[in-house]
């Protein structure tokens, strides 16, 4: 620091271009300086380490409580087969979608919600924000259900595991430093990979896995409503609106620039690969339930699976599974509540960054803290309609993914803001295909919701 340094806490300063400089700018500049030095020293692995974060967090964050239950239900219902390559495909879709958010972030240095508001007007701005914050609140409820259920497996009372969850979420926000927050969450998110050693306790057959990947089979049971619902649940477990908003805002908050795009893409690809490995491991670990013909239709949480797995894969494997479920709920609660904060503050044009002090960013932090407290409170209400909320979360996420994706495609084709990083025809073909596919899936989900037996049982 220079000797004639001024206190930024009280004085609004101006940089060389005459712009006002804030504490948030200074903290981001510190991170950027490390990146610039590492790049000029040509230390590529260290550079990737410095720039990784948003992609890994968004992908592992989406391996949340309900998603892991979806993968577990898939493994217990169909075993190792069609869904192994299908899950891999959904993560390829997720990479295609999330890569666009990285480009938007580095090209505009603005979050997704504020771009929608400013470029398409208040209707779409408020709709996108309102839909996200409401959907995220319900999703947070499901994350605390996962934390609570995991706690029950280890003999913790509901109130204690939920309270620990709330304290950890609020403590992560109290760091008031994006870089520290990100590294703390990445350290926690590594535990999502617990599903991989858990899968080893199920003694998976390498030949069966290879056969599934090569042939997209077997598919026992045919194409009934249960199969279609699981297909939709697995898509909903991988591609959701909050991911788009979160990753773009995190890329901006981290300070990534156009020069960092290759590392931003690699970060997203690594995150997708890790999350896909954990998801497939979850299918593998629950496959013994399929072999033992265990009926999982009444299972409400990941803890039910852990309990049912104990006699089949042993206590260690089941414990790893239960720990993974707790981690899934916790990391998702942290990332999803933060995406609500970013989205709300960006739409309302108030300051939004994890580098802010509480006094400067009280509205930003308040959204995450209040939604966390409300969600945790709902979980603890005796007789609360938790199942209704879980089902509605899936409906909202699937139905409202189409508008989110279309707005994303429109933004990433906006050459006034994207310049040379706008979508080319290949990216538009891939993105357009995904929008059409997700819209059809959303419509199908809507039909199944209203007419549950339209495709048979």
Partner 1 sequence: MSYDPALISALEPGQLTAATHRKLPRRSLGRGTLALLILLRVYVVIAIPIVLYAFVHALVIPQ
Q: How far is the CB of 353 from partner 1 (least distance, A)?
A: 8
- Residue 46 or 392: the one with the smaller Cβ distance to partner 1 is 392
- Residue of 163, 69, 153 lying closest to 376 (CA atoms): 163
- Residue 332 or 411: the one with the smaller Cβ distance to partner 1 is 411
Among positions 160, 291, 380, 388, the unique one binding partner 1 when judged by CB under 8 A = 388
Query: Hey, what are 298's tokens?
Result: 């009444």
Verify binding: residue 232, partner 1, rule CB under 8 A: no
- Residue 9 or 311: the one with the smaller Cβ distance to partner 1 is 9
Verify binding: residue 402, partner 1, rule CB under 8 A: yes
Helix (H, G, I), strand (E, B) or coil at 12: coil
Contacting range for partner 1; rule: CB under 8 A; set: 106-114, 263-271, 284-292, 368-376: 106-114
Verify binding: residue 226, partner 1, rule CB under 8 A: no
Among positions 85, 218, 314, 403, the unique one binding partner 1 when judged by CB under 8 A = 403
Among positions 156, 392, 432, 437, the unique one binding partner 1 when judged by CB under 8 A = 392
Which residues have CB under 8 Å from 327's CB, separation 6+? Answer: 188, 189, 191, 192, 194
Q: How far is the CB of 201 from partner 1 (least distance, A)?
A: 32
Query: Hey, what are 169's tokens?
Result: 């979420």
Contacting range for partner 1; rule: CB under 8 A; set: 150-158, 329-337, 371-379, 398-406: 398-406
Q: What's the longest Cα–Cα distance across the chain? A: 75
- Residue 312 or 400: the one with the smaller Cβ distance to partner 1 is 400
Contacting range for partner 1; rule: CB under 8 A; set: 75-83, 87-95, 323-331, 399-407: 399-407
Separation CA 63–CA 276 (nearest Å) = 9
Verify binding: residue 406, partner 1, rule CB under 8 A: yes
Give 13's strand partners: 21
Among positions 43, 109, 203, 419, the unique one binding partner 1 when judged by CB under 8 A = 109
Verify binding: residue 380, partner 1, rule CB under 8 A: no
Separation CA 109–CA 362 (nearest Å) = 22
Verify binding: residue 147, partner 1, rule CB under 8 A: no
HSE-CB of 258 using CA atoms within 13 angstroms: 8
Dihedral angle sign, alpha carbons of residues 357, 267, 248, 142? negative
Verify binding: residue 381, partner 1, rule CB under 8 A: no
Q: Rule CB under 8 A: which of 14-33 touch partner 1?
A: 15-17, 19-30, 32-33
Q: How far is the CB of 446 from partner 1 (least distance, A)?
A: 5
Separation CA 301–CA 144 (nearest Å) = 11
Verify binding: residue 118, partner 1, rule CB under 8 A: yes
How many residues in the shown chain lie near partner 1 by CB under 8 A? 68
Helix (H, G, I), strand (E, B) or coil at 13: strand
- Residue 1 or 45: the one with the smaller Cβ distance to partner 1 is 1
Query: Hey, what are 310's tokens?
Result: 């104990």
Separation CA 454–CA 332 (nearest Å) = 33
Q: Rule CB under 8 A: which of 240-269 touch partner 1?
A: 252, 255, 257
Residue 94 vs residues 118, 180, 258, 283, 418: alpha-carbon distances, Å: 26, 26, 21, 19, 21
Q: Output the CA angle 421-55-48, nearest 5 degrees.
A: 85
Verify binding: residue 1, partner 1, rule CB under 8 A: yes
- Mark residues 409-448: x for contact with partner 1 by CB under 8 A, - for none: -x---x-xx---------------------x--x---x--
Q: Are 279 and 87 in contact (CB under 8 A)?
A: yes
The DSSP result for 390-445, as a single string, is HHHHHHHHHHTHHHHHHHHHHHHT-HHHHGGGS--HHHHHHHHHHHHHHHHHHHHH
Verify binding: residue 41, partner 1, rule CB under 8 A: no
- Mark residues 340-369: x for contact with partner 1 by CB under 8 A, - for none: ---------x-x-x----------------
Q: What are phi and psi of 109, to 5 degrees?
A: 55, 30
Decide the pairing of beta strands 20-21 and 13-14: antiparallel
Residue 168 vs residues 146, 171, 172, 175, 321: alpha-carbon distances, Å: 15, 5, 6, 11, 21
- Residue 210 or 349: the one with the smaller Cβ distance to partner 1 is 349
- Residue 89 or 406: the one with the smaller Cβ distance to partner 1 is 406
Among positions 68, 145, 196, 400, the unique one binding partner 1 when judged by CB under 8 A = 400
Q: What is the CA radius of gyration of the chain?
A: 22
Among positions 363, 370, 391, 427, the unique one binding partner 1 when judged by CB under 8 A = 391
- Residue 120 or 216: the one with the smaller Cβ distance to partner 1 is 120
Chain positions contacting partner 1, by CB under 8 A = 1-2, 5-9, 11, 13, 15-17, 19-30, 32-33, 36, 108-110, 115, 118-121, 123-124, 127, 252, 255, 257, 349, 351, 353, 385-389, 391-392, 395-396, 399-400, 402-403, 406-407, 410, 414, 416-417, 439, 442, 446, 449-450
């Amino acid at each position: 620091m220079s000797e004639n340094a001024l206190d930024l806490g009280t004085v609004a300063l101006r940089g060389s271009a005459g712009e006002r400089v804030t504490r948030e700018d200074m903290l981001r500049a510190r991170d950027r300086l490390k990146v610039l030095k590492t790049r000029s020293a040509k230390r590529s692995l260290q550079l990737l380490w410095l720039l990784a974060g948003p992609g890994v967090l968004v992908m592992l964050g989406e391996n949340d409580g309900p998603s892991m239950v979806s993968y577990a239900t898939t493994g217990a219902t169909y075993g190792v087969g069609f869904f192994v390559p299908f899950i891999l495909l959904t993560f390829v879709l997720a990479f295609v979608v999330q890569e666009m958010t990285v480009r938007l972030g580095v090209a505009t240095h603005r979050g997704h919600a504020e771009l929608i508001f400013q470029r398409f007007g208040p209707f779409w701005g408020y709709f996108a924000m309102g839909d996200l914050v409401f959907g995220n609140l319900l999703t947070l409820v499901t994350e605390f259900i996962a934390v609570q259920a995991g706690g029950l497996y280890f003999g913790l009372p509901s109130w204690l595991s939920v309270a620990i969850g709330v304290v950890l979420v609020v403590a992560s926000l109290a760091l008031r430093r994006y870089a520290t927050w990100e590294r703390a969450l990445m350290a926690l998110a590594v535990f999502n990979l617990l599903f991989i050693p858990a899968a080893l306790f199920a003694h998976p057959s390498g030949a069966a896995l290879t056969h599934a990947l090569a042939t997209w089979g077997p598919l026992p049971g045919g194409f009934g409503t249960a199969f279609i619902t699981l297909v939709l649940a697995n898509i909903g477990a991988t591609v959701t609106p909050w991911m788009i908003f979160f990753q773009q805002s995190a890329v901006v908050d981290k300070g990534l620039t156009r020069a960092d795009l290759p590392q931003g893409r690699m970060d997203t690809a690594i995150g997708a690969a890790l999350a896909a490995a954990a998801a497939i491991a979850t299918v593998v670990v629950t496959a013994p339930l399929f072999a033992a013909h265990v009926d999982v239709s009444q299972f409400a949480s990941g803890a039910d699976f852990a309990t049912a797995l104990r006699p089949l894969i042993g206590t260690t494997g089941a414990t790893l599974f239960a720990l993974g479920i707790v981690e899934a709920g916790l990391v998702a609660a942290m990332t999803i509540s933060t995406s609500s904060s970013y989205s709300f503050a960006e739409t309302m044009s108030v300051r939004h960054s994890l580098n802010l002090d509480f006094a400067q960013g009280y509205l930003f932090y308040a959204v995450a803290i209040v939604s966390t407290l409300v969600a945790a409170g709902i979980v603890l209400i005796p007789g609360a309609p938790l199942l209704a909320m879980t089902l509605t979360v899936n409906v909202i996420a699937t139905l409202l993914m189409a508008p989110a994706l279309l707005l994303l495609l429109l933004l990433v084709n906006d050459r006034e803001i994207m310049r040379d990083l706008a979508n080319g025809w290949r990216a538009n073909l891939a993105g357009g295909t995904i929008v059409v596919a997700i819209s059809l899936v959303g419509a199908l989900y809507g039909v199944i919701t209203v007419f549950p037996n339209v495709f048979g049982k």
